[in-house]
Structure 1
Amino acid sequence: MRILGPYNFDSVLDRLSLDPLHVIDRNKRSVKVPLIIKDQPLVAEVTAIGTTDEPEFRVDEENNEIIEKLTHIFQWKQSLTEVDDHFQMTDLQQLFKEHRGTPLVLDFDPYNCLLKSIIHQQLNLSFAHTLTERFVKTFGFEVGGVYFYPQPETVANLNIVDLRELQFSGRKAEYVIGIAQAIVDGKLDLQSLYDKSDEEVMNELIKLRGVGPWTVQNLLIFGLGRPNLFPAADIGLQNALKKLYELDRKPTLDEIDVYKKDWEPYLSFASLYLWRSIEEVG
Protein backbone atom coordinates (compact mmCIF):
# COMPACT_ATOMS: atom_id res chain seq x y z
CA MET A 1 0.00 0.00 0.00
CA ARG A 2 1.12 3.53 -0.74
CA ILE A 3 0.77 6.52 1.56
CA LEU A 4 1.59 10.22 1.38
CA GLY A 5 5.17 11.20 2.20
CA PRO A 6 7.29 12.15 3.90
CA TYR A 7 7.38 9.01 6.05
CA ASN A 8 10.76 7.70 7.19
CA PHE A 9 10.32 4.01 7.97
CA ASP A 10 14.02 3.60 8.73
CA SER A 11 13.51 6.10 11.55
CA VAL A 12 10.58 3.98 12.72
CA LEU A 13 12.86 0.93 12.82
CA ASP A 14 15.44 2.96 14.77
CA ARG A 15 12.91 3.69 17.51
CA LEU A 16 11.44 0.19 17.52
CA SER A 17 14.93 -1.29 17.83
CA LEU A 18 15.25 0.26 21.29
CA ASP A 19 12.83 -2.40 22.57
CA PRO A 20 14.40 -5.91 22.52
CA LEU A 21 10.96 -7.51 22.12
CA HIS A 22 10.54 -6.11 18.61
CA VAL A 23 11.51 -8.43 15.76
CA ILE A 24 13.18 -6.25 13.14
CA ASP A 25 15.12 -7.03 9.97
CA ARG A 26 17.15 -3.98 8.97
CA ASN A 27 18.21 -5.43 5.62
CA LYS A 28 14.63 -6.21 4.62
CA ARG A 29 13.42 -2.97 6.29
CA SER A 30 10.71 -4.94 8.05
CA VAL A 31 9.11 -5.48 11.43
CA LYS A 32 6.87 -8.31 12.63
CA VAL A 33 3.81 -7.02 14.48
CA PRO A 34 1.94 -9.18 17.03
CA LEU A 35 -1.81 -8.62 16.72
CA ILE A 36 -4.90 -10.04 18.40
CA ILE A 37 -7.68 -10.35 15.80
CA LYS A 38 -11.02 -11.73 16.98
CA ASP A 39 -9.30 -13.06 20.11
CA GLN A 40 -6.75 -14.94 17.99
CA PRO A 41 -3.03 -14.06 17.92
CA LEU A 42 -1.35 -13.56 14.57
CA VAL A 43 1.82 -11.94 13.31
CA ALA A 44 1.79 -9.46 10.42
CA GLU A 45 5.08 -8.53 8.78
CA VAL A 46 5.32 -4.95 7.50
CA THR A 47 8.06 -4.27 4.94
CA ALA A 48 9.01 -0.89 3.51
CA ILE A 49 9.46 -1.02 -0.27
CA GLY A 50 9.39 2.72 -0.92
CA THR A 51 11.33 5.83 0.09
CA THR A 52 10.79 8.62 2.61
CA ASP A 53 9.20 10.83 -0.04
CA GLU A 54 7.31 8.03 -1.79
CA PRO A 55 6.53 5.57 1.01
CA GLU A 56 5.07 2.18 0.14
CA PHE A 57 4.58 -0.94 2.25
CA ARG A 58 3.97 -4.62 1.77
CA VAL A 59 1.95 -6.50 4.40
CA ASP A 60 2.12 -10.30 4.37
CA GLU A 61 -1.20 -10.81 6.19
CA GLU A 62 -3.89 -8.77 4.52
CA ASN A 63 -7.51 -8.35 5.47
CA ASN A 64 -9.46 -5.22 6.31
CA GLU A 65 -9.14 -5.57 10.08
CA ILE A 66 -5.39 -6.16 9.92
CA ILE A 67 -4.83 -3.21 7.59
CA GLU A 68 -7.01 -0.99 9.80
CA LYS A 69 -4.97 -1.92 12.88
CA LEU A 70 -1.65 -1.43 11.12
CA THR A 71 -2.80 1.91 9.70
CA HIS A 72 -3.55 3.05 13.24
CA ILE A 73 -0.33 1.69 14.75
CA PHE A 74 1.91 3.19 12.07
CA GLN A 75 -0.24 6.32 11.69
CA TRP A 76 -0.30 6.01 7.91
CA LYS A 77 -3.10 8.57 7.56
CA GLN A 78 -1.40 11.35 9.55
CA SER A 79 -0.06 14.14 7.33
CA LEU A 80 3.54 14.73 8.41
CA THR A 81 3.84 17.62 5.94
CA GLU A 82 1.26 19.52 7.95
CA VAL A 83 3.14 18.77 11.18
CA ASP A 84 6.52 19.63 9.68
CA ASP A 85 5.23 22.95 8.33
CA HIS A 86 3.96 23.88 11.78
CA PHE A 87 7.40 23.50 13.38
CA GLN A 88 9.39 25.44 10.76
CA MET A 89 8.88 28.72 12.64
CA THR A 90 9.63 27.28 16.09
CA ASP A 91 12.68 26.46 18.22
CA LEU A 92 12.37 22.83 17.06
CA GLN A 93 12.90 23.67 13.39
CA GLN A 94 16.35 22.03 13.24
CA LEU A 95 15.15 18.83 14.94
CA PHE A 96 12.36 18.51 12.40
CA LYS A 97 14.90 18.89 9.58
CA GLU A 98 17.25 16.29 11.08
CA HIS A 99 14.49 13.74 11.70
CA ARG A 100 12.24 14.64 8.79
CA GLY A 101 9.37 12.25 8.23
CA THR A 102 9.55 10.55 11.64
CA PRO A 103 5.98 9.44 12.41
CA LEU A 104 4.38 8.94 15.80
CA VAL A 105 4.24 5.13 15.77
CA LEU A 106 2.14 3.54 18.50
CA ASP A 107 2.70 0.55 20.72
CA PHE A 108 1.17 -2.52 19.13
CA ASP A 109 -1.71 -2.61 21.65
CA PRO A 110 -2.95 -0.09 24.26
CA TYR A 111 -2.90 -2.83 26.90
CA ASN A 112 0.79 -3.45 26.20
CA CYS A 113 1.39 0.28 26.35
CA LEU A 114 -0.25 0.66 29.75
CA LEU A 115 1.63 -2.26 31.31
CA LYS A 116 4.92 -1.12 29.79
CA SER A 117 4.42 2.43 31.08
CA ILE A 118 3.88 1.11 34.60
CA ILE A 119 6.91 -1.19 34.41
CA HIS A 120 9.06 1.69 33.08
CA GLN A 121 8.17 4.09 35.90
CA GLN A 122 11.25 5.50 37.67
CA LEU A 123 13.69 3.16 35.87
CA ASN A 124 16.47 3.95 33.44
CA LEU A 125 15.51 2.99 29.90
CA SER A 126 17.90 0.07 29.57
CA PHE A 127 16.73 -1.76 32.70
CA ALA A 128 13.11 -0.84 31.97
CA HIS A 129 13.32 -2.69 28.65
CA THR A 130 15.13 -5.61 30.31
CA LEU A 131 12.45 -5.92 32.98
CA THR A 132 9.65 -5.71 30.41
CA GLU A 133 11.35 -8.37 28.29
CA ARG A 134 11.64 -10.70 31.29
CA PHE A 135 7.97 -10.17 32.10
CA VAL A 136 6.77 -10.85 28.57
CA LYS A 137 9.03 -13.84 27.91
CA THR A 138 8.20 -15.42 31.28
CA PHE A 139 4.42 -15.02 31.25
CA GLY A 140 3.55 -14.21 27.64
CA PHE A 141 3.55 -16.52 24.64
CA GLU A 142 5.30 -16.82 21.30
CA VAL A 143 3.92 -17.09 17.78
CA GLY A 144 6.31 -17.45 14.86
CA GLY A 145 9.26 -16.10 16.81
CA VAL A 146 7.34 -13.05 18.03
CA TYR A 147 6.37 -12.58 21.68
CA PHE A 148 2.92 -11.46 22.82
CA TYR A 149 2.34 -9.77 26.16
CA PRO A 150 0.64 -12.04 28.70
CA GLN A 151 -3.09 -11.50 28.46
CA PRO A 152 -5.00 -9.88 31.37
CA GLU A 153 -6.40 -13.24 32.52
CA THR A 154 -2.87 -14.58 32.91
CA VAL A 155 -1.51 -11.54 34.75
CA ALA A 156 -4.55 -11.31 37.02
CA ASN A 157 -3.74 -14.79 38.35
CA LEU A 158 -0.11 -14.02 39.16
CA ASN A 159 1.01 -13.19 42.66
CA ILE A 160 3.52 -10.62 43.82
CA VAL A 161 6.22 -13.26 44.42
CA ASP A 162 6.04 -14.28 40.73
CA LEU A 163 7.03 -10.78 39.68
CA ARG A 164 9.46 -10.16 42.53
CA GLU A 165 11.51 -13.05 41.15
CA LEU A 166 11.99 -10.97 37.97
CA GLN A 167 13.21 -7.98 40.07
CA PHE A 168 9.93 -6.10 40.15
CA SER A 169 9.44 -4.01 43.25
CA GLY A 170 6.58 -5.24 45.42
CA ARG A 171 4.57 -2.13 44.72
CA LYS A 172 5.07 -2.28 40.95
CA ALA A 173 4.06 -5.95 41.00
CA GLU A 174 0.83 -4.97 42.78
CA TYR A 175 0.13 -2.29 40.18
CA VAL A 176 0.61 -4.57 37.17
CA ILE A 177 -1.54 -7.33 38.66
CA GLY A 178 -4.15 -4.78 39.73
CA ILE A 179 -4.47 -3.37 36.19
CA ALA A 180 -5.02 -6.87 34.79
CA GLN A 181 -7.61 -7.64 37.47
CA ALA A 182 -9.47 -4.41 36.68
CA ILE A 183 -9.66 -5.46 33.02
CA VAL A 184 -10.79 -9.00 33.82
CA ASP A 185 -13.42 -7.70 36.28
CA GLY A 186 -14.79 -5.29 33.67
CA LYS A 187 -13.82 -2.19 35.66
CA LEU A 188 -11.41 -1.04 32.95
CA ASP A 189 -12.29 -1.15 29.24
CA LEU A 190 -9.31 0.06 27.25
CA GLN A 191 -11.19 0.00 23.94
CA SER A 192 -13.70 2.53 25.29
CA LEU A 193 -10.88 5.04 25.79
CA TYR A 194 -10.70 5.67 22.05
CA ASP A 195 -14.02 7.51 22.23
CA LYS A 196 -13.08 9.69 25.21
CA SER A 197 -11.30 13.03 25.40
CA ASP A 198 -7.79 13.33 26.80
CA GLU A 199 -9.23 14.78 29.99
CA GLU A 200 -11.79 11.99 30.35
CA VAL A 201 -9.09 9.35 29.88
CA MET A 202 -6.92 11.07 32.48
CA ASN A 203 -9.78 11.29 35.00
CA GLU A 204 -10.67 7.62 34.54
CA LEU A 205 -7.21 6.08 34.66
CA ILE A 206 -5.74 8.25 37.40
CA LYS A 207 -8.03 6.43 39.84
CA LEU A 208 -6.12 3.17 39.28
CA ARG A 209 -3.35 2.32 41.74
CA GLY A 210 0.05 2.99 40.27
CA VAL A 211 -1.23 5.17 37.45
CA GLY A 212 -0.10 8.79 37.59
CA PRO A 213 -0.21 11.64 35.05
CA TRP A 214 3.03 10.52 33.33
CA THR A 215 1.61 7.01 32.77
CA VAL A 216 -1.66 8.34 31.34
CA GLN A 217 0.16 10.80 29.09
CA ASN A 218 2.29 7.98 27.69
CA LEU A 219 -0.83 5.92 27.05
CA LEU A 220 -2.51 8.85 25.34
CA ILE A 221 0.48 9.35 23.04
CA PHE A 222 1.70 5.83 22.34
CA GLY A 223 -1.44 3.81 23.07
CA LEU A 224 -4.14 6.02 21.57
CA GLY A 225 -2.17 8.27 19.21
CA ARG A 226 -3.31 11.60 20.63
CA PRO A 227 -1.38 14.47 18.96
CA ASN A 228 -1.18 17.14 21.66
CA LEU A 229 0.47 15.73 24.82
CA PHE A 230 3.75 16.82 26.41
CA PRO A 231 4.77 14.82 29.53
CA ALA A 232 6.74 17.67 31.12
CA ALA A 233 7.79 15.52 34.10
CA ASP A 234 9.54 13.04 31.80
CA ILE A 235 13.28 13.00 32.58
CA GLY A 236 14.17 12.28 28.95
CA LEU A 237 12.27 15.32 27.71
CA GLN A 238 13.86 17.48 30.38
CA ASN A 239 17.31 16.29 29.30
CA ALA A 240 16.46 16.91 25.64
CA LEU A 241 15.36 20.46 26.45
CA LYS A 242 18.51 21.02 28.48
CA LYS A 243 20.53 19.97 25.43
CA LEU A 244 18.43 22.00 22.97
CA TYR A 245 18.64 25.25 24.92
CA GLU A 246 22.20 24.60 26.16
CA LEU A 247 21.16 24.95 29.80
CA ASP A 248 23.42 24.14 32.76
CA ARG A 249 20.51 22.38 34.48
CA LYS A 250 17.21 20.77 33.62
CA PRO A 251 14.44 23.30 32.85
CA THR A 252 11.74 23.97 35.42
CA LEU A 253 8.13 23.05 34.71
CA ASP A 254 7.32 26.77 34.41
CA GLU A 255 10.04 27.16 31.77
CA ILE A 256 8.72 24.14 29.89
CA ASP A 257 5.25 25.71 29.86
CA VAL A 258 6.73 28.72 28.08
CA TYR A 259 8.73 26.65 25.59
CA LYS A 260 5.84 24.46 24.54
CA LYS A 261 3.29 27.18 23.74
CA ASP A 262 4.47 27.47 20.13
CA TRP A 263 4.32 23.70 19.62
CA GLU A 264 0.58 23.23 20.06
CA PRO A 265 -1.52 21.55 18.68
CA TYR A 266 1.26 19.01 17.98
CA LEU A 267 2.86 18.64 21.39
CA SER A 268 3.12 14.85 20.98
CA PHE A 269 5.31 15.37 17.91
CA ALA A 270 7.43 17.88 19.81
CA SER A 271 7.87 15.22 22.50
CA LEU A 272 8.76 12.57 19.91
CA TYR A 273 11.38 14.67 18.13
CA LEU A 274 12.93 15.78 21.41
CA TRP A 275 13.19 12.13 22.51
CA ARG A 276 14.74 11.34 19.12
CA SER A 277 17.40 13.99 19.72
CA ILE A 278 18.88 12.08 22.68
CA GLU A 279 18.19 8.47 21.73
CA GLU A 280 21.11 6.19 20.97
CA VAL A 281 19.90 3.93 18.22
CA GLY A 282 21.67 1.11 16.49
Structure 2
Amino acid sequence: MYWNEQDEQIIIHTPPNFSFKQNLHYLSRSTNECLFHISEDMVRKAITVGECITLIEIKERDEHSLVVDFLGDTRPISSKDREKVAAYIFEWFDLKTDMSRFIELSSNDPILQQAITEFNGLRIMGIPDLFEAMVWGILGQQINLTYAYTLKRRLVEQYGRALEFEGKQYWVFPSPGEIANLSIEDLASLKMTVKKCEYLLDVANLINLGLLTKEMLLETNDIKKAEKKLTSIRGIGPWTANYVLMRCLRFPSAFPIDDVGLHNALKYITGSQQKPSKDEILLLSKAWKGWEAYATFYLWRFLY
Protein backbone atom coordinates (compact mmCIF):
# COMPACT_ATOMS: atom_id res chain seq x y z
CA MET A 1 0.00 0.00 0.00
CA TYR A 2 1.25 3.42 -0.89
CA TRP A 3 -0.20 6.14 1.32
CA ASN A 4 0.91 8.84 3.72
CA GLU A 5 -0.48 11.36 6.17
CA GLN A 6 -0.49 15.05 5.53
CA ASP A 7 -1.73 17.36 8.25
CA GLU A 8 -4.95 15.68 9.44
CA GLN A 9 -5.59 13.92 6.13
CA ILE A 10 -4.64 10.59 4.57
CA ILE A 11 -3.31 10.68 1.03
CA ILE A 12 -3.91 7.49 -0.96
CA HIS A 13 -1.69 7.10 -4.03
CA THR A 14 -3.67 5.32 -6.72
CA PRO A 15 -2.26 2.83 -9.26
CA PRO A 16 -2.34 3.16 -13.06
CA ASN A 17 -5.66 2.39 -14.74
CA PHE A 18 -7.76 3.67 -11.87
CA SER A 19 -10.62 6.13 -12.30
CA PHE A 20 -12.27 7.55 -9.20
CA LYS A 21 -15.08 8.87 -11.39
CA GLN A 22 -15.86 5.42 -12.84
CA ASN A 23 -15.94 3.82 -9.41
CA LEU A 24 -18.03 6.59 -7.91
CA HIS A 25 -20.50 6.02 -10.75
CA TYR A 26 -20.71 2.35 -9.76
CA LEU A 27 -21.33 3.31 -6.12
CA SER A 28 -24.12 5.64 -7.28
CA ARG A 29 -26.09 2.92 -9.06
CA SER A 30 -28.81 2.74 -6.37
CA THR A 31 -30.63 5.64 -4.75
CA ASN A 32 -31.49 3.32 -1.84
CA GLU A 33 -27.93 2.64 -0.66
CA CYS A 34 -27.71 2.99 3.12
CA LEU A 35 -24.02 2.41 3.89
CA PHE A 36 -22.53 5.53 2.32
CA HIS A 37 -23.55 8.90 0.90
CA ILE A 38 -22.36 10.30 -2.42
CA SER A 39 -22.49 13.98 -3.27
CA GLU A 40 -21.04 15.27 -6.52
CA ASP A 41 -17.38 14.25 -6.48
CA MET A 42 -17.00 12.61 -3.08
CA VAL A 43 -18.20 9.70 -0.97
CA ARG A 44 -18.72 9.64 2.78
CA LYS A 45 -18.77 6.38 4.72
CA ALA A 46 -18.74 5.28 8.34
CA ILE A 47 -16.45 2.35 9.11
CA THR A 48 -15.76 0.44 12.29
CA VAL A 49 -12.21 0.61 13.61
CA GLY A 50 -11.90 -1.52 16.71
CA GLU A 51 -14.78 -0.53 18.96
CA CYS A 52 -15.17 2.91 17.44
CA ILE A 53 -16.87 4.27 14.33
CA THR A 54 -14.99 6.74 12.17
CA LEU A 55 -16.54 8.83 9.40
CA ILE A 56 -14.44 9.41 6.32
CA GLU A 57 -14.84 11.55 3.23
CA ILE A 58 -12.96 10.47 0.09
CA LYS A 59 -12.26 12.81 -2.81
CA GLU A 60 -9.93 12.78 -5.78
CA ARG A 61 -6.94 15.01 -5.14
CA ASP A 62 -5.45 14.60 -8.61
CA GLU A 63 -5.29 11.85 -11.25
CA HIS A 64 -2.80 9.91 -9.13
CA SER A 65 -4.17 10.27 -5.61
CA LEU A 66 -7.18 10.45 -3.32
CA VAL A 67 -7.53 12.54 -0.19
CA VAL A 68 -9.29 11.22 2.90
CA ASP A 69 -10.71 13.54 5.57
CA PHE A 70 -12.02 12.47 8.97
CA LEU A 71 -15.29 14.22 9.73
CA GLY A 72 -16.43 15.52 13.08
CA ASP A 73 -14.27 14.29 15.91
CA THR A 74 -13.91 10.76 14.52
CA ARG A 75 -10.22 10.81 13.51
CA PRO A 76 -8.57 7.79 15.18
CA ILE A 77 -5.89 8.79 17.66
CA SER A 78 -3.80 5.68 17.05
CA SER A 79 -1.62 5.57 13.92
CA LYS A 80 -2.37 1.83 13.72
CA ASP A 81 -6.08 2.59 13.51
CA ARG A 82 -5.47 5.18 10.79
CA GLU A 83 -3.47 2.54 8.95
CA LYS A 84 -6.52 0.25 9.18
CA VAL A 85 -8.61 3.01 7.58
CA ALA A 86 -6.13 3.28 4.71
CA ALA A 87 -6.14 -0.52 4.32
CA TYR A 88 -9.94 -0.53 4.19
CA ILE A 89 -9.93 2.03 1.38
CA PHE A 90 -7.34 0.06 -0.58
CA GLU A 91 -9.53 -3.02 -0.23
CA TRP A 92 -12.80 -1.22 -0.98
CA PHE A 93 -11.48 0.43 -4.15
CA ASP A 94 -9.42 -2.58 -5.27
CA LEU A 95 -6.22 -0.54 -5.40
CA LYS A 96 -3.79 -3.46 -5.11
CA THR A 97 -4.64 -5.12 -8.43
CA ASP A 98 -2.39 -4.70 -11.46
CA MET A 99 -4.95 -4.34 -14.26
CA SER A 100 -2.50 -4.30 -17.17
CA ARG A 101 -3.00 -7.94 -18.17
CA PHE A 102 -6.79 -7.62 -18.06
CA ILE A 103 -6.67 -4.46 -20.17
CA GLU A 104 -4.45 -6.21 -22.71
CA LEU A 105 -6.70 -9.24 -23.10
CA SER A 106 -9.86 -7.08 -23.14
CA SER A 107 -8.51 -4.86 -25.90
CA ASN A 108 -8.35 -7.90 -28.17
CA ASP A 109 -11.60 -9.52 -27.11
CA PRO A 110 -14.77 -8.82 -29.13
CA ILE A 111 -16.97 -9.06 -26.03
CA LEU A 112 -14.87 -6.86 -23.73
CA GLN A 113 -13.42 -4.31 -26.18
CA GLN A 114 -16.25 -1.81 -25.80
CA ALA A 115 -16.37 -2.17 -22.01
CA ILE A 116 -12.65 -1.62 -21.46
CA THR A 117 -12.73 1.43 -23.75
CA GLU A 118 -15.81 3.08 -22.25
CA PHE A 119 -15.25 2.19 -18.59
CA ASN A 120 -11.45 2.14 -18.31
CA GLY A 121 -10.38 2.63 -14.71
CA LEU A 122 -13.31 0.75 -13.21
CA ARG A 123 -12.32 -1.62 -10.41
CA ILE A 124 -14.18 -4.39 -8.63
CA MET A 125 -15.58 -2.29 -5.80
CA GLY A 126 -15.20 -4.57 -2.84
CA ILE A 127 -17.09 -5.57 0.27
CA PRO A 128 -14.15 -6.02 2.64
CA ASP A 129 -16.16 -7.56 5.48
CA LEU A 130 -16.94 -11.26 4.94
CA PHE A 131 -20.20 -11.19 6.91
CA GLU A 132 -21.53 -8.19 4.99
CA ALA A 133 -20.55 -9.78 1.67
CA MET A 134 -22.26 -13.07 2.49
CA VAL A 135 -25.41 -11.37 3.78
CA TRP A 136 -25.59 -9.20 0.65
CA GLY A 137 -25.23 -12.33 -1.49
CA ILE A 138 -28.01 -14.09 0.43
CA LEU A 139 -30.33 -11.08 0.30
CA GLY A 140 -29.87 -10.84 -3.47
CA GLN A 141 -30.88 -14.43 -4.17
CA GLN A 142 -33.83 -14.75 -6.57
CA ILE A 143 -35.07 -11.18 -6.21
CA ASN A 144 -34.43 -8.01 -8.17
CA LEU A 145 -31.68 -5.62 -7.13
CA THR A 146 -34.12 -2.89 -6.08
CA TYR A 147 -35.78 -5.10 -3.48
CA ALA A 148 -32.41 -6.45 -2.31
CA TYR A 149 -31.40 -2.87 -1.46
CA THR A 150 -34.68 -2.43 0.43
CA LEU A 151 -34.01 -5.55 2.52
CA LYS A 152 -30.46 -4.41 3.23
CA ARG A 153 -31.67 -1.00 4.40
CA ARG A 154 -34.24 -2.60 6.73
CA LEU A 155 -31.60 -4.92 8.21
CA VAL A 156 -29.00 -2.17 8.66
CA GLU A 157 -31.37 0.43 10.11
CA GLN A 158 -32.92 -2.10 12.49
CA TYR A 159 -29.75 -3.79 13.77
CA GLY A 160 -26.76 -1.69 12.70
CA ARG A 161 -25.16 1.27 14.44
CA ALA A 162 -24.99 4.82 13.17
CA LEU A 163 -23.48 8.19 13.85
CA GLU A 164 -24.96 11.51 12.83
CA PHE A 165 -23.11 14.28 11.00
CA GLU A 166 -24.59 17.43 9.50
CA GLY A 167 -28.11 16.06 9.88
CA LYS A 168 -27.45 12.73 8.14
CA GLN A 169 -27.22 9.24 9.55
CA TYR A 170 -24.15 7.19 8.61
CA TRP A 171 -24.73 3.49 9.23
CA VAL A 172 -22.33 0.61 9.71
CA PHE A 173 -23.34 -2.94 8.91
CA PRO A 174 -24.43 -5.06 11.91
CA SER A 175 -21.83 -7.46 13.26
CA PRO A 176 -22.25 -11.26 13.16
CA GLY A 177 -22.73 -11.23 16.94
CA GLU A 178 -25.58 -8.72 16.71
CA ILE A 179 -27.41 -10.90 14.15
CA ALA A 180 -26.55 -14.27 15.73
CA ASN A 181 -28.55 -13.31 18.84
CA LEU A 182 -31.74 -12.77 16.82
CA SER A 183 -34.57 -15.18 16.06
CA ILE A 184 -36.15 -16.11 12.75
CA GLU A 185 -39.19 -14.08 13.85
CA ASP A 186 -36.99 -10.99 14.37
CA LEU A 187 -35.63 -11.17 10.82
CA ALA A 188 -38.93 -12.21 9.25
CA SER A 189 -40.41 -8.92 10.47
CA LEU A 190 -38.17 -7.24 7.88
CA LYS A 191 -40.25 -9.01 5.17
CA MET A 192 -37.62 -11.50 4.03
CA THR A 193 -38.40 -15.17 3.50
CA VAL A 194 -38.03 -17.66 6.35
CA LYS A 195 -35.32 -19.46 4.35
CA LYS A 196 -33.27 -16.26 4.03
CA CYS A 197 -33.69 -15.67 7.76
CA GLU A 198 -32.36 -19.15 8.45
CA TYR A 199 -29.41 -18.69 6.10
CA LEU A 200 -28.47 -15.33 7.65
CA LEU A 201 -28.58 -16.75 11.16
CA ASP A 202 -26.48 -19.77 10.13
CA VAL A 203 -23.79 -17.53 8.58
CA ALA A 204 -23.87 -15.10 11.53
CA ASN A 205 -23.34 -17.97 13.97
CA LEU A 206 -20.52 -19.56 11.95
CA ILE A 207 -18.60 -16.28 11.73
CA ASN A 208 -19.38 -15.22 15.29
CA LEU A 209 -18.04 -18.54 16.63
CA GLY A 210 -14.88 -18.27 14.50
CA LEU A 211 -15.81 -21.34 12.44
CA LEU A 212 -15.66 -19.31 9.23
CA THR A 213 -13.22 -16.45 8.63
CA LYS A 214 -11.89 -14.52 5.68
CA GLU A 215 -8.41 -15.77 6.53
CA MET A 216 -9.53 -19.43 6.36
CA LEU A 217 -10.86 -18.92 2.85
CA LEU A 218 -7.83 -16.96 1.66
CA GLU A 219 -5.45 -19.52 3.10
CA THR A 220 -6.84 -22.18 0.77
CA ASN A 221 -5.11 -20.22 -2.00
CA ASP A 222 -7.36 -22.20 -4.34
CA ILE A 223 -10.65 -20.93 -5.70
CA LYS A 224 -12.19 -24.40 -5.96
CA LYS A 225 -11.37 -25.22 -2.33
CA ALA A 226 -12.67 -21.84 -1.17
CA GLU A 227 -15.84 -22.27 -3.24
CA LYS A 228 -16.38 -25.76 -1.83
CA LYS A 229 -16.00 -24.44 1.72
CA LEU A 230 -18.60 -21.76 1.07
CA THR A 231 -21.09 -23.99 -0.75
CA SER A 232 -20.98 -26.47 2.15
CA ILE A 233 -22.88 -23.83 4.12
CA ARG A 234 -26.65 -24.07 3.93
CA GLY A 235 -28.08 -21.42 1.61
CA ILE A 236 -24.79 -20.68 -0.14
CA GLY A 237 -24.93 -21.94 -3.72
CA PRO A 238 -22.39 -21.45 -6.52
CA TRP A 239 -23.72 -17.99 -7.44
CA THR A 240 -23.50 -16.62 -3.89
CA ALA A 241 -20.13 -18.28 -3.30
CA ASN A 242 -18.61 -16.79 -6.44
CA TYR A 243 -20.08 -13.39 -5.65
CA VAL A 244 -18.32 -13.48 -2.27
CA LEU A 245 -15.11 -14.83 -3.83
CA MET A 246 -15.22 -11.98 -6.32
CA ARG A 247 -16.12 -8.98 -4.17
CA CYS A 248 -14.73 -9.89 -0.75
CA LEU A 249 -11.94 -12.41 -1.25
CA ARG A 250 -10.83 -10.99 -4.62
CA PHE A 251 -10.20 -14.20 -6.50
CA PRO A 252 -9.85 -12.82 -10.07
CA SER A 253 -11.12 -16.10 -11.54
CA ALA A 254 -14.36 -16.08 -9.52
CA PHE A 255 -17.19 -16.41 -11.99
CA PRO A 256 -20.89 -16.09 -11.06
CA ILE A 257 -21.81 -17.69 -14.38
CA ASP A 258 -25.50 -18.02 -13.49
CA ASP A 259 -25.88 -14.28 -12.82
CA VAL A 260 -28.89 -12.76 -14.59
CA GLY A 261 -27.13 -9.42 -14.97
CA LEU A 262 -24.21 -11.09 -16.74
CA HIS A 263 -26.64 -12.83 -19.10
CA ASN A 264 -28.42 -9.55 -19.88
CA ALA A 265 -25.12 -7.76 -20.50
CA LEU A 266 -23.95 -10.49 -22.89
CA LYS A 267 -27.29 -10.37 -24.69
CA TYR A 268 -26.83 -6.60 -25.11
CA ILE A 269 -23.23 -6.83 -26.32
CA THR A 270 -23.88 -9.63 -28.81
CA GLY A 271 -27.13 -8.11 -30.07
CA SER A 272 -28.83 -11.45 -29.54
CA GLN A 273 -32.59 -11.83 -29.15
CA GLN A 274 -32.14 -14.26 -26.29
CA LYS A 275 -29.86 -14.76 -23.32
CA PRO A 276 -26.82 -16.99 -23.90
CA SER A 277 -26.77 -20.56 -22.66
CA LYS A 278 -24.25 -21.68 -20.07
CA ASP A 279 -22.28 -23.50 -22.78
CA GLU A 280 -22.18 -20.33 -24.87
CA ILE A 281 -20.94 -18.30 -21.90
CA LEU A 282 -18.22 -20.86 -21.20
CA LEU A 283 -17.11 -20.60 -24.81
CA LEU A 284 -17.11 -16.79 -24.80
CA SER A 285 -15.23 -16.68 -21.48
CA LYS A 286 -12.33 -18.91 -22.52
CA ALA A 287 -10.39 -15.82 -23.50
CA TRP A 288 -10.92 -14.30 -20.04
CA LYS A 289 -9.39 -17.21 -18.12
CA GLY A 290 -8.01 -16.00 -14.83
CA TRP A 291 -9.89 -12.69 -15.13
CA GLU A 292 -13.52 -13.84 -15.15
CA ALA A 293 -14.41 -11.70 -12.13
CA TYR A 294 -13.19 -8.53 -13.85
CA ALA A 295 -14.89 -9.43 -17.11
CA THR A 296 -18.16 -9.91 -15.23
CA PHE A 297 -17.81 -6.62 -13.35
CA TYR A 298 -17.06 -4.70 -16.55
CA LEU A 299 -19.99 -6.31 -18.37
CA TRP A 300 -22.33 -5.42 -15.51
CA ARG A 301 -21.41 -1.79 -16.14
CA PHE A 302 -23.59 -1.77 -19.27
CA LEU A 303 -26.64 -2.27 -17.06
CA TYR A 304 -26.44 0.92 -14.98
What's the TM-score, normalizing by structure 2? Answer: 0.85
Counterpart residue number, 2:67 = 58
Counterpart residue number, 1:260 = 285
Indicate yes or no: 2:162 matched with 1:162. no
Root mean square deviation of aligned Cα: 1.7
Find the aligned partners of 1:30 and 1:82 in 2 and give their Cα distance.
29
1:12 corresponds, among 9, 20, 23, to 23
Alignment of 1:96-245 (within 5 A): 96-144=116-164, 145-196=169-220, 197-245=222-270
Q: Give the superposition deviation at 1:115.
A: 0.6
Find the aligned partners of 2:36 and 2:91 in 1 and give their Cα distance.
19
Find the aligned partners of 1:250 and 1:88 in 2 and give their Cα distance.
24
3-state DSSP class of the match of 2:233?
coil
Find the aligned partners of 1:32 and 1:108 in 2 and give their Cα distance.
16
Find the aligned partners of 2:250 and 2:43 in 1 and give their Cα distance.
19
Indicate yes or no: 2:33 matched with 1:24. no
Indicate yes or no: 2:13 matched with 1:2. yes
Find the aligned partners of 1:82 and 1:55 in 2 and give their Cα distance.
20
Find the aligned partners of 2:252 and 2:46 in 1 and give their Cα distance.
24
Which residues of structure 1 form unaligned runs of 5+? none
Paired letter, 1:41:
I
Paired letter, 1:55:
H
Q: Give the superposition deviation at 1:79.
A: 2.5
Deviations 1:198-245 (A, max 9, x none): 122111111111111111100011111221222110011011111111
Flag the 1:37–1:195 CA change in 2: closer, same or farther, 3 A.
Answer: farther
Flag the 1:4–1:184 CA change in 2: closer, same or farther, 3 A.
Answer: closer
Which residues of structure 2 form unaligned runs of 5+? 1-11, 71-78
3-state DSSP class of the match of 1:96?
helix
Find the aligned partners of 1:18 and 1:110 in 2 and give their Cα distance.
22
Paired letter, 1:71:
F
The structure where strand makes up a greater share of residues is 2
- Which shows bigger deviation, 269-278 or 12-21? 12-21
Find the aligned partners of 2:234 and 2:281 in 1 and give their Cα distance.
28
Deviations 1:159-191 (A, max 9, x none): 111121111001111110111111222322233
Asked if 2 retains the 8 angstrom alpha-carbon contact of 1:34 and 1:108, the reply is no
Find the aligned partners of 2:194 and 2:171 in 1 and give their Cα distance.
25
Find the aligned partners of 1:239 and 1:274 in 2 and give their Cα distance.
9
Q: Percent identity?
A: 28
Paired letter, 1:24:
H
What's the TM-score, normalizing by structure 1? Answer: 0.91
Asked if 1 retains the 8 angstrom alpha-carbon contact of 2:124 and 2:294, the reply is yes
Paired letter, 1:79:
D
Q: Give the superposition deviation at 1:108.
A: 4.1
Find the aligned partners of 2:145 and 2:65 in 1 and give their Cα distance.
32
